[in-house]
Structure 1
Amino acid sequence: MPVKGPLRTLIGTATLTLALSALVLTEPAYAAKPVGSDKGASTEQTGGSNDTGIYAAARITYSGSVTKDGSTGNVKSTDINWTPPPCWYAPYLGAKDFKEKMSKDIERQTNAPGMGGHAGAALSELQRHYEDGYGWAGSPGYEDYNVEKDGEGMFWAGVENPDEPDALKRSSCTDLPFWVDNGEAPPPRYEEAITPEMLAALAYQHMQLPDTEVSLAPEATTKVNLPTWAWLDRAVFDEVRATAALNVPGFALQATTTAKPVSLGLEPGTPDAETHPASGECTINADGSIGEPYAKGKADETPPCGITYLRSSGDGTYDLRATITWEIEWTGTGGAGGDLPDGTFGNEQAVTVQEIQAVNR
């Protein structure tokens, strides 16, 4: 149940912030080297702590083919309506640590100048909620912050996705921290409670895909009306995996997202060109390659994957864009799994197109 009334005011004015966005990136392990990553490197990014010095327990660990600095990866979803979760609820602190933090926050805010009216009433209700069992429909209260159950569960709280650009969506998990026993699922009303599928979406968001530079024949410089062959060997790219995991006492989830290349899209960089096939989409072969390498004697043949430029690039070049479409699926804790929207990632490479010079005798 979202926070309303005085308690909603409290969240906006008393600044009881929860430092729950800590990310830890481990050493990348990948089939093809991701852009901007150095094998063997590792980076730790933390969201910091509040003035009590207590860090969030809900730390998501990313591993596999992911960015090393905690930023989003380069894969983009083909479904413009699909996005990773902007926020979620996850384990925050045990009962004793939560009591220590909240007690200090409430005391500090109570003694702050101007904390009367609605804000003061909200603080009083908050204290009663966690100390004296004061609750409301769907949100039972607690006695002494559940300290007698310390070690048997944790308080959960809202976590913002630091990579969500929409501030309103990012801060929409506004329920007050709530208790969950070890081994139990959060109450159904908390639809944004972290799940394996959410972790899979976060792994997707941080996934790094390999460069997409196709082999061309002729290479870099071609002729008007001469078919240019394009191909990718299987050794150039392979399946890519990224894992997101959350492990705290009494609670552990993880999900692995796997991206499998399925087709190569060619955009010539000019309307004065024909693609082969006409759709510009070259499908993957049975051996995992795309297209066919050029071989001597095939200059006049139509390539299974390629481009025929119809006009010279003059003194410049055309920007040929090669984009691989990746089929993405995931598996997670408890046998969960399914499909995620296809992802794409591409690169541009310069192609010079020259007129064929005729010799008059």
Structure 2
Amino acid sequence: MRKPLIVSAVCGSLLFMAGSPAMAADPVAIDSQGSKGPDRTVGAAAKITYTRSGNSPGSGPVTSVDPNWTPPPCWYAPEWKASEFGEYRDRLYFGARHDPDAPRDALKEMSDENQGYRKDNYNIDKEKEGMWWGAQFSPDATVAEQAKCSDPPFWVDNGDTPDVPNAISPEILAELAYNQIQVPGTKVSLAPDGPSKVNLPTWAWLDKGDFQPVSVTASLDVPGLHIEATTTAKPTALSIKPGTEDAVRIPASGKCEMNEDGSIGEPYAKGKANEEPPCGVTYHRSSGNGTYNLQATATWDITWTGSGGTGGDLPDGEYGDDQPVTVEEVQSVNR
């Protein structure tokens, strides 16, 4: 029985060009991750390149709120010009092009598959008319996930869309771009200053400059094919978890919606200690000698637009930070 061979391509090395926050509104180039599999020494695999734009360099990746959704683990994309494919396959299956009838022992049982390619001379006579496509993989793909893209390389004429599952498309690019989104942290401002007080509201807020939309554009550009997609994360709300059941969230849902100016909550002002804030928490028990672990998690609405007027929605994303909160009993003096 002939064993299947999964050939993976190198999509590129991870590269960050991080700038200062003041420069982060300009696009930042990030190449895609390298994929698993044997190293190819010939051919220029189609590189998916990423460009990030937004007002923050980001602190961490968003996580889909849908536990059943993940970016694609594998896809098919252009990998070789015809002459490159011929050189690669002959080296892989037959040791060297100058000795094509001497197959490597380890690959003898698979060499008959390559005979089909060699019979048509790897389409070298159609060098400028198309490319050979192959499977590419996310670096996080498991062996089982790689098996979803186990088809052998296939020829695609320029301008044609292959009728195979997981063929690279604007939507797949958008999903891969989702995995590259980095958003700001969510350390909130708390007041009044100092430790929070039992039964007195603690105000929580984020200034309007803290959260702005962040976009990542994924593009693929090879002879005969250019597609791209831009995935945008837009902040919509902040959820507060006080870190103890002996507390009441404000509002009761614990979800603070974004204001029209892009801020969340309202900064505390002197004299408002007894007023209820639009976003915050009231603790009913002291933290004693320790602290409570307040969790602030931002929700991001994720949408995408792509080549050919394509676009749509992707699952909302979340990212949050924890911060310690000391809560003390209110001290009173009896006279």
TM more than 0.5: yes
Give the partner amino acid of 1:60: I
Number of residue pairs matched? 324
2:41 corresponding residue in structure 1: 53
Judging changes above 3 Å, is the alpha-carbon distance between structure 1 residues 49 and 349 closer, same or farther for their aligned structure 2 residues? closer
Q: CA contact under 8 A between 1:88 and 1:173: conserved in structure 2?
A: yes
Cα distance in 1 between the residues matched to 2:146 and 2:29: 30
Q: CA contact under 8 A between 1:32 and 1:238: conserved in structure 2?
A: no
Q: 1:7-61 CA deviation, whole Å, 9 max, x = no partner? A: xx152xxxx7443332454535797999xxxx98978965699666225421111
Match of 1:97 among 64, 84, 88: 84
Judging changes above 3 Å, is the alpha-carbon distance between structure 1 residues 185 and 41 closer, same or farther for their aligned structure 2 residues? closer
Equivalent position SS for 2:135: strand
Cα distance in 2 between the residues matched to 1:202 and 1:148: 34
2:156 corresponding residue in structure 1: 180
1:359 corresponding residue in structure 2: 333
**Structure 1 position 218, deviation (Å):** 1.7
Give the partner amino acid of 2:11: S
Match of 2:140 among 157, 160, 163: 163
Judging changes above 3 Å, is the alpha-carbon distance between structure 1 residues 249 and 29 closer, same or farther for their aligned structure 2 residues? farther
Mapping 1:204-283, distance limit 5 Å: 204-219=178-193, 221-283=195-257
Q: CA contact under 8 A between 2:28 and 2:53: conserved in structure 1?
A: no
Equivalent position SS for 2:148: coil
Cα distance in 1 between the residues matched to 2:33 and 2:184: 23
Equivalent position SS for 1:127: helix
Cα distance in 2 between the residues matched to 1:48 and 1:300: 58
Match of 2:11 among 12, 21, 27: 21
Q: CA contact under 8 A between 2:195 and 2:327: conserved in structure 1?
A: yes
Judging changes above 3 Å, is the alpha-carbon distance between structure 1 residues 263 and 151 closer, same or farther for their aligned structure 2 residues? same
Q: Which runs of 5+ in 2 are unaligned?
A: 97-101
2:117 corresponding residue in structure 1: 130
Match of 1:112 among 104, 111, 133: 104
| TM-score, normalised via structure 1 length | 0.82
Judging changes above 3 Å, is the alpha-carbon distance between structure 1 residues 335 and 219 closer, same or farther for their aligned structure 2 residues? farther
Q: 1:133-178 CA deviation, whole Å, 9 max, x = no partner? A: xxxxxxxxxx1110110021100000011133x3311342111100
Match of 1:194 among 164, 168, 183: 168
Cα distance in 2 between the residues matched to 1:217 and 1:98: 64
**Structure 1 position 131, deviation (Å):** 2.2
**Structure 1 position 308, deviation (Å):** 0.2
The share of aligned pairs that are identical, in percent, is 50
Q: Which runs of 5+ in 1 are unaligned?
A: 67-71, 133-142
What do you get for the CA RMSD once the two structures are aligned?
2.8
Q: CA contact under 8 A between 2:60 and 2:185: conserved in structure 1?
A: no
1:139 corresponding residue in structure 2: none
Query: Which moves more between the two structures, 340-349 or 246-255?
Result: 246-255
Equivalent position SS for 2:182: coil
Cα distance in 2 between the residues matched to 1:78 and 1:284: 19
Cα distance in 1 between the residues matched to 2:149 and 2:293: 44
Q: CA contact under 8 A between 1:272 and 1:311: conserved in structure 2?
A: yes
| TM-score, normalised via structure 2 length | 0.88
Q: CA contact under 8 A between 1:218 and 1:228: conserved in structure 2?
A: yes
**Structure 1 position 256, deviation (Å):** 0.8
Cα distance in 2 between the residues matched to 1:100 and 1:264: 55
Equivalent position SS for 2:110: helix
Structure 1 segments, 4+ long, off by >4 Å, are: 28-34, 39-52
Give the partner amino acid of 1:127: N
**Structure 1 position 253, deviation (Å):** 1.3
2:99 corresponding residue in structure 1: none
Give the partner amino acid of 1:146: N
Cα distance in 2 between the residues matched to 1:23 and 1:185: 27
Q: Is structure 2 residue 264 aligned with structure 1 residue 286?
A: no
Q: CA contact under 8 A between 2:36 and 2:138: conserved in structure 1?
A: no
Equivalent position SS for 2:235: strand
Cα distance in 1 between the residues matched to 2:275 and 2:183: 33
Judging changes above 3 Å, is the alpha-carbon distance between structure 1 residues 18 and 54 closer, same or farther for their aligned structure 2 residues? farther
